[in-house]
A and B are shown apart, each in its own frame.
Chain A
Amino acid sequence: EAGVVQSPRYKIIEKKQPVAFWCNPISGHNTLYWYLQNLGQGPELLIRYENEEAVDDSQLPKDRFSAERLKGVDSTLKIQPAELGDSAVYLCASSLGRRAEETQYFGPGTRLLVL
């Protein structure tokens, strides 16, 4: 079974440019997460989806970040405009449901460098 797929794997952009990341979760997983991982740190949740509904976006900087999960499957995370401080790894994860004991499965991440 395929794991969580993310693209692109690497992205280099200039500041003030827009950028988008794509995630395809494991088939049948209803819950999807976007995490931000800064260098030397653990992942931090940006947004969580239950099917197509964003149920926790309290950590998403809404002035420049947006996300969508159309049809409750694939998801896109966008930054517009990007800032130097956005350079980080953006991880997508999915789980079957939202019970606290469920395992989250992570994609390889998108490494963003803003120049």
Chain B
Amino acid sequence: AQSVTQLGSHVSVSEGALVLLRCNYSSSVPPYLFWYVQYPNQGLQLLLKYTSAATLVKGINGFEAEFKKSETSFHLTKPSAHMSDAAEYFCAVSGTGNQFYFGTGTSLTVIP
């Protein structure tokens, strides 16, 4: 069975500081992992995905994530937070038939 755990339902960072959002996965097969962002009253937008190619994945808006099999992690990072990064972030793992299993989300607040 596939699942993801997002540690920290709320994360606050200062503008210009490092953003680190944590995601750990559980999967019985090699996983495909995704990070989505959701702005208020909008749908989910793909930031990046891991599909077993390079372990360091670069996405949109300066975000990247590193797949670490030994740690079963896929943490999302951004070197310098911007006010526009304030949103809800979801990690997901895909399973049979491309069914996505989402984490409970992390709300990112950026402090000016």
Contacts and interface: CB of A to CB of B under 8 A. Distances in A.
Interface residues of B, number: 26
Contact of A40 (B44, B45, B92, B104): B104
Interface in A60-115: 91, 93, 95, 97-109, 111
A60 to B, nearest CB: 13
A42 B49 contact: no
Interface stretch (B11-19, B63-71, B79-87, B94-102): B94-102
Contacts, number: 68
Interface string A28-64: 0001010000001111110010000001100000000
B41 interface: yes
Given A42-B90, A103-B34, A108-B42, A55 B49 contact: no
A90 to B, nearest CB: 11
A106 B45 contact: yes
A111 B40 CA distance: 12
A101 B44 contact: no
11 contacts: A31-B98, A33-B100, A42-B102, A43-B90, A45-B99, A56-B97, A91-B43, A103-B46, A106-B44, A108-B42, A108-B43
Nearest to B103: A42
Contacts of B32: 100-101
A99 B98 contact: yes
Interface in B2-47: 9, 32, 34, 36, 41-46
The residue in B41, B44, B95, B103 that gathers the most chain A C-beta atoms within 10 A of its C-beta is B44
B98 to A, nearest CB: 5
B51 interface: yes
A48 B102 contact: no
A4 interface: yes
